[in-house]
């Protein structure tokens, strides 16, 4: 009944807008853009006053931010867009009212959907006023002026009236703070007009087509190197093919597509091997590198880091990966350097001698190295073709300590329409560093190591409640699979939640090292938004 | 008095409604509860069964229930907190409806609705927002007063300003007063619209105590005529890692005496959502969520606690103080002995319907 009334109102407003000649408001360079056409035809039925668009031009956001806005307008105001219209309007807005790379950089972990991350709001008030219901990053990936931030506050309480009744809302004059204080604070932190955006929006950006040497690490699988080829399909669209090598004999081929928003925000989908994946990458400002994360379409907690260097004539010894990262003193090892424009001159630092070349190409160098038995433990910068890189190798005699990463992980029970969320753990080896103590800031990261995984009750309470029995089980590669959601009559109010210790046991020669992390198996999340 | 059978469109409900359609002529207690999508149930706690299900008009989801002293009409907050519907418990027919919102203005009532004891006026705390074409405008909150005789298209007869974030309203023994629970408790004169007295809760000044956290969404007061709610509060005069640093307490407002009493009774280890006072022994309070707890409010001691097979949000009690009812979540109302807290019976909502966060209200007929 209500929706009908509303729709009717929208139609009337739309008709009025048409009569006023909305198309006259379109700037010359935007005319004909399918996204702009959607704005004029659909959004303007409400967001138009005196021939000018309201609200929409006052905001800058990430592609995900705009997509969530469009989705919200559909849910709240019954704005019906086809998938094509939705893509067009998000592209149009993210390109013209996006974020500069430097503005989006601090919150890439959120855009990339990295699991087990916790964002750090600037202060307690921001954390409680904004970050108690959604990530603070969702706020920080928007730009508005004070009046527009204030309008967002009105929208918040109008749409989510429980905000002033829920915990950390009811203990204060939430609305007065939201209306009177937050808009100014937010506008000071995240204003609409910035030098960064002015410069970025005026600059020309390098397209992403061509060949890229890629590398990364997938927790549970290990490091990979490979090649990605992007073929331009017009309007920032690309057809993309992948060939990834996860160690000997594990070659994964893939094919998919990608769209570049705002000149640098790469959003792709691909079938890699037998898995459907999504990629969230960013091109570097000069367009020579790409970095980010790809993850499974239906389980974004499972994914891999991604780094790419452009393999064209301008590339000069640009490194994507040096593997393995850890070299034991006294050993002979095969080292692979992946990159572009590689010059077959490699310096791995003191105590590491190249004894044999196994492969020399512009994209891959393969060499046998002998590590002196008295080589000093620690990191060495890798120098290729006389150019120091940001890559390193580490020499060690023995692993001093192991850490479980993440140290605190979350899995969610699942079932029915809401699948479980697993948790992938990784064992990482460290040297103690100059202070000789494990677990301190000067520890030297050696890299991921194979481990045997097990779980234990985290504390006495977990032991008493038999969390181990109910919460789920650990796979051999460190992935925890949680149990089913819903009432478990055997367990009363606890159902299948749990609080567990995750134990990694790592063999280092004859020694065995243990490390412990914490895993909380908790309830489902019902609103899997692109930005949490 | 007899409750007449109700003609129902849905066959399943007809069976439920008419299976036990008549009530005895002497005063007897019935328990009212609500379920999704939009049903009001009349429960005979003695028989341990739902004797009538009334389908409420509108969109659901029902929450707060208020009934005047004569127990004839139940006023239910529903339609996503945007309407109050009054239904005659005998005929099942709607006799009152106030839709708060209009297409241009969304108005929510956050549980704080109550009818006067004589059943003539309905009070609703309202939080409005103007829905402009391209922006919203949050407006100040107020209490709207409806005349229950205004039927199915009732509009407020008058309004008076009220602080934001009020979650409960209850009529006191003074017919001109309602008490409102928000940050503090405000005693409103419903004729003048003025706050006659403020009972500090958030703004209490108690040495060594911080501001209490109160989540009061379940208004239960009709049996002992005491509106009560659990609260949690930090003690500021002990180290933060001390077990004493966070206390659980209960706030009790005596509706006839118009006095507020607060009492901490344990170190906070157990979450409790709602509470009820025993009308037979007014120093006994029962509190519920994953456990059912019994507290002596005179001595501030926890007397007993049992684990419950599921979460329950709402609680009420029989007039003789012998049986405690817990419900307001999933499809069960569980009945417990007030002495031992042992479970004595349970009632399942028709079709396994979810009570969501609905209230339970006792009516005497």
Q: For A257-291, write each residue's pLDDT tens digit.
A: 999 999 999 999 999 999 999 999 999 999 999 99
Other CB atoms within a 10 A radius of the CB of residue B48 amount to 14
pLDDT band, very low/low/confident/very high, at A30 (cuts 50, 70, 90):
low
CB-hemisphere CA count at 13 Å for A195? Answer: 0
CB contacts, 8 Å: B137 with chain A: 154, 158
Residue A215: CATH number of its domain: 2.40.128.120
Return d(Cα B144, Cα B92) in angstroms, integer.
Answer: 26
Domain range for residue A324?
A: 318-396
Other CB atoms within a 10 A radius of the CB of residue B337 amount to 13
* pLDDT at B146 exceeding the cut of 80: yes
pLDDT band, very low/low/confident/very high, at B16 (cuts 50, 70, 90):
very low
Note whether A417 and A378 are same-domain residues.
no
Q: Which of B335, B339, B363 is nearest to B47 (CA)?
A: B335
Of B81, B103, B108, the CB nearest to A5: B103
Peptide bond between residue A57 and the one before it cis (omega within 30 degrees of 0): no
Return d(Cα A211, Cα A247) in angstroms, integer.
Answer: 21
B118 touches chain A (CB under 8 A): no
pLDDT per residue over B223-275, tens digit each? 999 999 999 999 999 999 999 999 999 999 999 999 999 999 999 999 999 99
Q: Give the DSSP per-residue string, A46-107.
A: TSEETTEE-SGGG-EE-HHHHHHHHHHHHHHH-----HHHHHHHHHHHHHHS---HHHHGGG
Q: How far is CA B233 from CA A67, A169, A206, B65, B299, in A?
A: 42, 16, 58, 29, 18
Note whether A503 and A407 are same-domain residues.
yes
Binary contact (A158, B138; C-beta < 8 A): yes
Rounded to a whole number of angstroms, the distance from the CA of A263 to the nearest CA of chain B is 29
Q: Which of A262, A245, A16, A289 is nearest to A143 (CA)?
A: A262
pLDDT per residue over A377-418, tens digit each? 999 999 999 999 999 999 999 999 999 999 999 999 998 888
Q: CA of A168: which chain B residue's CA is closest?
A: B213
Note whether A214 and A303 are same-domain residues.
yes
**Is A109:A38 a contact under the CB 8 Å cutoff?**
no
How many domains are contained in chain A?
A: 5
How large is the ipTM? 0.90
CB-hemisphere CA count at 13 Å for A152? Answer: 21
Binary contact (B290, A151; C-beta < 8 A): no
Rounded to a whole number of angstroms, the distance from the CA of B195 to the nearest CA of chain A is 19
Rounded to 5 degrees, φ, ψ at B65 are -130, 135
DSSP B212: P
Region A480-487: mean pLDDT is 93
Region A101-113: mean pLDDT is 97
Q: CA of B182: which chain A residue's CA is closest?
A: A170
Q: Which of B199, B192, B197, B112 is nearest to B158 (CA)?
A: B192
Asked whether residue A531 is domain-assigned, the answer is: no
Asked whether residue A280 is domain-assigned, the answer is: yes
Quote the pLDDT of residue B357: 85
CB contacts, 8 Å: B213 with chain A: 167, 170-171
Quote the pLDDT of residue A78: 95
| Per-state percent for chain B, helix, strand, coil, to nearest 5 | 5, 45, 45
Of B106, B214, B311, the CB nearest to A158: B106
**Better-predicted residue by pLDDT, A229 or A2:** A229
**Is A279:A269 a contact under the CB 8 Å cutoff?**
yes
Asked whether residue A528 is domain-assigned, the answer is: no
Residue with tokens 């328990």: B31
Pairing of strands B49-55, B39-44: antiparallel
Note whether A71 and A135 are same-domain residues.
no
**Is A226:A243 a contact under the CB 8 Å cutoff?**
yes
Rounded to a whole number of angstroms, the distance from the CA of A60 to the nearest CA of chain B is 17
Quote the pLDDT of residue A29: 55
Asked whether residue A527 is domain-assigned, the answer is: no
Asked whether residue A223 is domain-assigned, the answer is: yes
Q: Please give the structure tokens belonging to residue A212.
A: 């890229």
CB contacts, 8 Å: A158 with chain B: 106, 129, 131, 136-138
Note whether A85 and A191 are same-domain residues.
no
Return d(Cα A275, Cα A267) in angstroms, integer.
Answer: 17
Identify the contact set of chain A against chain B, taking CB-CB distances under 8 A.
2, 5-6, 9, 13, 46-49, 54-55, 151, 153-155, 157-159, 161-162, 164-165, 167, 170-171, 173-175, 179, 487, 489, 492-493
Residue with tokens 């379940």: B218
Query: Where does a domain end: A370, A396, A422?
Result: A396
* pLDDT at A494 exceeding the cut of 90: no
Binary contact (A175, B138; C-beta < 8 A): yes
Query: Where does a domain end: A71, A98, A125?
Result: A98
pLDDT per residue over B298-339, tens digit each? 999 999 999 998 899 999 999 999 999 999 999 999 999 999
Q: Please give the structure tokens belonging to residue A366.
A: 């393969």
Quote the pLDDT of residue A487: 84
Quote the pLDDT of residue A493: 74
- pTM comes to 0.90
Note whether A428 and A514 are same-domain residues.
yes
Query: Where does a domain end: A375, A396, A417?
Result: A396
Rounded to a whole number of angstroms, the distance from the CA of B311 to the nearest CA of chain A is 6
**Is B272:B288 a contact under the CB 8 Å cutoff?**
yes
């Amino acid at each position: 009944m209500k929706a009908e009334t509303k729709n009717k109102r929208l139609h009337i407003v739309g008709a009025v807008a048409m009569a006023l000649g909305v198309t006259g408001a379109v700037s010359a360079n935007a005319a004909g853009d399918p996204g702009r056409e959607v704005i004029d035809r659909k959004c303007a039925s409400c967001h138009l006053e005196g021939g000018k668009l309201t609200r929409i031009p006052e905001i800058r956001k990430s592609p995900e931010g705009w997509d969530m806005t469009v989705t919200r307008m559909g849910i709240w105001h019954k704005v019906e867009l086809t998938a094509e219209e939705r893509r067009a309007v998000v592209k149009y807005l993210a390109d013209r009212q996006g974020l500069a790379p430097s503005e989006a950089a601090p919150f890439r972990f959120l855009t990339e959907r990295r699991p087990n991350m916790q964002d750090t709001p600037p202060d307690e008030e921001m954390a409680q006023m904004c970050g108690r219901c959604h990530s603070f990053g969702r706020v920080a990936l928007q730009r508005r002026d004070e009046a527009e931030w204030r309008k967002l506050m009105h929208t918040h309480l109008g749409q989510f009236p429980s905000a002033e009744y829920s915990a950390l809302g009811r203990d204060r004059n939430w609305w007065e703070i939201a209306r009177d204080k937050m808009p100014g604070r937010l506008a000071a932190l995240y204003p609409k007009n910035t030098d960064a955006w002015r410069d970025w929006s005026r600059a020309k950006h390098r397209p992403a087509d061509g060949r890229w040497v890629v590398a990364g690490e997938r927790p549970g699988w290990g490091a990979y190197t490979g090649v990605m080829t992007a073929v331009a399909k017009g309007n920032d669209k690309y057809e993309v093919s992948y060939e990834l090598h996860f160690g000997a004999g594990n070659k994964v081929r893939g094919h998919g597509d990608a769209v570049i928003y705002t000149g640098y925000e790469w959003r792709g989908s691909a079938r890699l091997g037998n898995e459907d994946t999504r990629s969230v990458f960013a091109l570097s400002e000069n367009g020579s590198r790409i970095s980010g994360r790809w993850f499974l379409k239906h389980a974004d907690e499972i994914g891999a880091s991604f780094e790419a260097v452009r393999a064209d004539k301008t590339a000069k010894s640009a490194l994507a990966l040096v593997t393995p990262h850890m070299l034991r003193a006294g050993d002979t090892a095969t080292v692979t350097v992946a990159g572009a424009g590689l010059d077959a001159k490699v310096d791995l630092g003191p105590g590491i001698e190249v004894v044999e070349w196994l492969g020399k190409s512009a994209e891959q160098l393969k060499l046998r190295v002998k590590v002196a038995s008295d080589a000093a433990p620690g990191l060495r910068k890798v120098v290729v073709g006389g150019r120091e890189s940001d890559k390193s190798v580490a020499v060690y005699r023995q692993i001093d300590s192991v850490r479980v990463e993440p140290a605190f992980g979350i899995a969610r029970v699942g079932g029915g329409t809401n699948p479980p969320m697993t948790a992938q753990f990784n064992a990482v080896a460290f040297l103690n560093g100059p202070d000789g103590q494990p677990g301190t800031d000067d520890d030297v990261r050696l890299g991921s190591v194979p481990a045997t995984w097990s779980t234990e009750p985290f504390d006495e309470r977990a032991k008493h409640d038999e969390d181990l029995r109910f919460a789920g089980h650990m796979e051999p590669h460190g992935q925890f699979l949680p149990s089913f959601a819903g009432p478990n009559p055997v367990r009363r109010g606890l159902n299948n939640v749990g609080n567990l210790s995750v134990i990694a046991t790592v063999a280092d020669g004859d020694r065995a090292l243990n490390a412990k992390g914490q895993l909380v198996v908790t309830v489902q999340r019902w609103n899997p938004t692109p930005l949490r | 008095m007899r409750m007449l059978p109700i003609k129902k469109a849905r066959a399943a409900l007809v069976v439920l409604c008419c299976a036990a359609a008549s009530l005895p002529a002497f005063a007897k207690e019935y328990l009212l509860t609500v379920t999704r999508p939009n049903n009001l149930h009349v429960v005979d706690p003695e028989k341990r069964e739902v004797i009538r299900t009334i389908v409420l008009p509108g969109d659901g989801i029902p929450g707060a229930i208020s009934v005047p002293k004569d127990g004839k009409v139940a006023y239910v907050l529903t339609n996503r907190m945007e309407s109050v519907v009054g239904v005659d418990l005998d005929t099942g027919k709607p006799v009152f409806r106030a839709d708060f919102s209009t297409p241009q203005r969304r108005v929510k009532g956050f549980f704080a609705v109550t009818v006067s004891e004589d059943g003539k006026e309905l009070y609703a705390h309202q939080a409005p927002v103007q829905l402009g074409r391209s922006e919203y405008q949050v407006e100040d909150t107020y209490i709207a007063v409806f005349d229950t005789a205004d039927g199915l298209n009732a509009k407020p007869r008058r309004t008076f300003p009220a602080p934001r974030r009020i979650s409960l309203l209850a009529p006191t023994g003074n017919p001109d007063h309602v008490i409102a629970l928000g940050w503090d408790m405000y005693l409103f004169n419903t004729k003048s619209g003025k706050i006659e007295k403020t009972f500090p809760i958030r703004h209490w000044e108690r040495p060594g105590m911080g501001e209490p956290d109160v989540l009061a969404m379940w208004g239960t007061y009709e049996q002992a005529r005491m509106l009560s709610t659990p609260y949690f509060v930090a003690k500021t005069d002990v180290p933060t890692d001390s077990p004493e640093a966070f206390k659980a307490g209960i706030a009790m407002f005596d509706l006839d005496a118009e006095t507020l009493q607060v009492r901490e009774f344990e170190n906070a280890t157990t979450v409790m959502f709602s509470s009820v006072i025993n009308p037979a022994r007014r120093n006994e309070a029962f509190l519920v969520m994953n456990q059912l707890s019994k507290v002596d409010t005179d001595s501030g001691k926890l007397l007993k606690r049992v684990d419950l097979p599921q979460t329950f949000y709402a609680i009420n009690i029989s007039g003789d103080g012998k049986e405690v009812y817990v419900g307001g979540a999933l499809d069960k109302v569980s009945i417990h002995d007030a002495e031992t807290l042992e479970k004595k019976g349970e009632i399942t909502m028709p079709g396994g319907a979810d009570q969501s966060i609905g209230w339970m209200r006792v009516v005497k007929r």
